[in-house]
Structure formats: C-alpha cells, structure tokens
Structure 1
Amino acid sequence: MNRVVHPIEQESFRRLRARLDTSHFPPLTRAVVERVVHSSADLDYASDLVMDEGELARAHTALHAGAPVVVDVEMVAAGITRRETVCRLKDAESGPGLTRSAHAMRLAYEQVGPGALWVIGCAPTALEELLTLDASPALVIGLPVGFVGAAESKAALRESGLPAVSNVSEKGGSAVAAAALNALLYHTVSPEENL
C-alpha cells in the first residue's frame, strides 16, 4: 500500500530542501536526515547525526522483512505510524541501580530476542541498558534527549560498534527517534540503491 503524502508535508519538505542541501547524502542517510530535520525544524541535525549507509540498508531490509521494533516509551510508539511496536515500560519496575526504562529494555529483549530494531528517544538509561544486553540488533536508533547521560550514552552506542543512528549533542527526543524509524519505513529502495 502506497503512502499518501499530504500537501502540507510536501510543501514542508520543499522548504526544507530549499534551506538545506541534502543531495550529497546517500539515499537512506538522506531520508533519515530529512525526516529528523522535518520533525524538529532543526537544520543542525544534518551535521549532528551519525549513521552508516550500509547499516541503514541492512536495517531497512530487516524492517521490511518484519523484524520487531522496540521503543523505550509510548511517545516514540505514537510517532511510528505504520508499524506495531513493543514497549514494556508499563510492565517495568525500578530497583537499586535499575531505572524503569532500563528494566523495560530487559523485558523487551526477553520478549523479542535478537535482530530487532530498537528506537530510544527518551531515556539514556534505556540505551545504556541495551548496550549491556546481547541483543544483536538490526539497528539501534539511539536519540535520547537530556543534560544527564544523553550525550554520553550516545557516545557509548557509537563506540559499541552496533549498527546505529545517533547524534553527538544532548538533543534528541521521542519525535526525532520516531522520525528516524519512519524514514526507513517510508523509503522505497530502487534497484540501484541495493547494497
């Protein structure tokens, strides 16, 4: 089923491209950058985001083959418009040295196992916990926001060697994390783009 793009969204992307040249990015990277910038109206994401086209291509394939999508909070789930997600935050409990967000990652991993796409837009502790699991993710979209632990958790994600979309700064959030996943959902790969 083809996605119908509303005229307001079309005009928004036209204006975005008039202000930001994304033509030098490879196709999936460009899709993620544009969708994140569109969701935030923050052009600086074009130079703040960190990702690899080959990893995005493999994640795109896994996503469209039905790999599970795990989110850290319901706000991320609400932003992912064309896919069911797993969010275990309601079932999680905090304890000594463990936040609810971290516990939710453990519960989600027990449910979905390896090979999922993980979308974290709120809690740095969720991202930190994911890095301790043997999740073998198809992709980690690690874009938590905040002044405590956000930049550090994203740096740890990049250092982990896991396939990832992250950013260098403290900014992020549910809307941009969902936007990055939506970019992969919405993007149709032409034959010459296959890696």
Structure 2
Amino acid sequence: MNTPRTVHPIEQESYRILRSRLDTTGFPPLTRAVVERVIHSSADVEYATDLVTDEAALRTAHTALHERGAPVVTDVEMVASGITRRETVCRLADAASSPDLTRSAHAVRLAYEQVGPGAVWVIGCAPTALYEVLALDVAPVLVIGLPVGFVGAAESKAALRASGLPAVSNVSEKGGSAVAAAAVNALLYAEPASVHNPQKEKS
C-alpha cells in the first residue's frame, strides 16, 4: 500500500493559483485530478478543454493500478522518469529501428511481449509508438496517448479516440513526456477514498 503523499508547499501554491484561474469543480473526481495535474505540470490552462477523458475508464484504470498492480508501460525514459509512484516498463533501450518500424514502435512490441494485456500504456513522445499500440491490439486497461509534435501527433491521438479503447488524449498537437507522466501520476496519487467520496476533493 502506498504511504500518504507529502505535498510540497510550492505544489500547494501552484494548485491554489490554478484553481483561482480555472474552476475545475464541475469535473468528476478522476477527470479533475488528471486535468489539474496536467495543467500543473505544463502551466497551460488550455488543457482543460483540449484533454479528452472518460471518467468510467479512469475509474477502471485507477482500480487496476491500486488493487491489481497493473503494469505501467512508457514509450520513452523521459516519461518513465516522471512517474514517481510506480516502477515502469520501457524497452526503448532494447529496441532497434528498421525501414518498416521505428525504434519507438519496436519498443512497444518488446514491452507487449513482456507485460501482455491489462497494462496502462503511457505514450508521451512518439506518435509511431501510439500507432503501434493500436496496431497490436494490446488489450489495455488504459492508454494515455499524449505524444507531441507537428508530424503525426494529432492524427495518432485522433486514431486512438476512434479506436474505442479506454483512453486519455488531447486534440491538439501539443503534449509531451511531462504531461503524459502527469496524467498517470494523477491516477496513482488519487486515494481510493477521494475517488469514492468526490466531496472530499471539492475543497
């Protein structure tokens, strides 16, 4: 079981400022947690309307992470280094590129061979990694698809939404390792009591 998390005063002040600029109380508890932590990590309040989430999918992922210890797979080490409450799987160091497969996509294949179905996939860098997650039919608990860039990022996230998989994504080209890690951290930090008692989070 996780020990209670100590929140630094700087983070408390960041959240105070965030909530003074944006009313997040209308979001369901886990959606609110994800939206606020992504904004906290990026100082970009536009994520409040850019992110696409589903509360039921977030609840399922939260349960899988907290009660079943679902594995967390990342596309790059920068995402993995930002996830602070769970060991992660990242196979990029073992992967190789080819004319038909990018290194990031190969890393997804290697990771799926290792963890199998039922993982939380966190893609914050490479659109090709997200496309490979979709192509492999990895049977995820959740896909956090927030790759960044002008080439393929928005399109890969649109494909994720069209797939019907349980997902967190955003509409625009922005994203990146920090916000992808923030989204999964929001689920890892959210205590079960606060999820089942939303009024506790309305303060």
Q: TM (normalized to structure 2)?
A: 0.94
Q: Tell me what 2:80 maps to.
A: 77
Is the aligned partner of 1:110 residue 2:113?
yes
> What is the CA–CA distance in structure 2 between the aligned matches of 1:168 and 1:61, rounded to whole Å?
26
Is the aligned partner of 1:135 residue 2:138?
yes
Q: Tell me what 2:21 maps to.
A: 19
1:92-122 Cα deviation digits (max 9, x unpaired): 0111221000000000000000000000000
> What is the CA–CA distance in structure 1 between the aligned matches of 2:171 and 2:13, rounded to whole Å?
29
Is the aligned partner of 1:38 residue 2:40?
yes
Q: Tell me what 2:191 maps to.
A: 188
Q: Tell me what 1:122 maps to.
A: 125
1:17-53 Cα deviation digits (max 9, x unpaired): 0001101100000000000000000000000000100
Secondary structure of the residue that 2:23 maps to in structure 1? coil
Shift of 1:192: 4.0
Go from structure 1 to structure 2 and tell me whether the alpha carbon gap of 1:6 and 1:192 turns closer, same or farther (over 3 Å shift): closer
Question: Which residue of the other structure, out of 137, 140, 163, is the alignment partner of 1:160?
Answer: 163
How many residue pairs end up in the alignment? 193
Secondary structure of the residue that 2:135 maps to in structure 1? coil
> What is the CA–CA distance in structure 2 between the aligned matches of 1:134 and 1:178, rounded to whole Å?
22
Secondary structure of the residue that 1:70 maps to in structure 2? strand
Gaps spanning 5+ residues in structure 2: where? 199-203
Shift of 1:188: 1.1
RMSD of equivalent CA atoms: 0.7
> What is the CA–CA distance in structure 1 between the aligned matches of 2:150 and 2:101, rounded to whole Å?
19
1:51-103 Cα deviation digits (max 9, x unpaired): 10000000000011200000000000010011100000000011122100000
Shift of 1:189: 2.7
> What is the CA–CA distance in structure 2 between the aligned matches of 1:59 and 1:133, rounded to whole Å?
20
Q: Which amino acid aligns with 1:6?
A: H
> What is the CA–CA distance in structure 2 between the aligned matches of 1:121 and 1:138, rounded to whole Å?
17
Q: Which amino acid aligns with 1:174?
A: S
Secondary structure of the residue that 1:132 maps to in structure 2? helix
Identity of aligned residues (%): 79
> What is the CA–CA distance in structure 2 between the aligned matches of 1:30 and 1:157, rounded to whole Å?
21
Shift of 1:134: 2.3
Secondary structure of the residue that 1:95 maps to in structure 2? coil
> What is the CA–CA distance in structure 2 between the aligned matches of 1:192 and 1:122, rounded to whole Å?
34
Q: Tell me what 1:176 maps to.
A: 179
Q: Tell me what 2:102 maps to.
A: 99
Q: TM (normalized to structure 1)?
A: 0.97
Q: Which amino acid aligns with 1:15?
A: I
Instruction: Kindly report structure 1 stretches of 4+ aligned residues shifted beyond 2 Å.
Output: 189-193
Secondary structure of the residue that 2:100 maps to in structure 1? coil
> What is the CA–CA distance in structure 1 between the aligned matches of 2:114 and 2:99, rounded to whole Å?
23
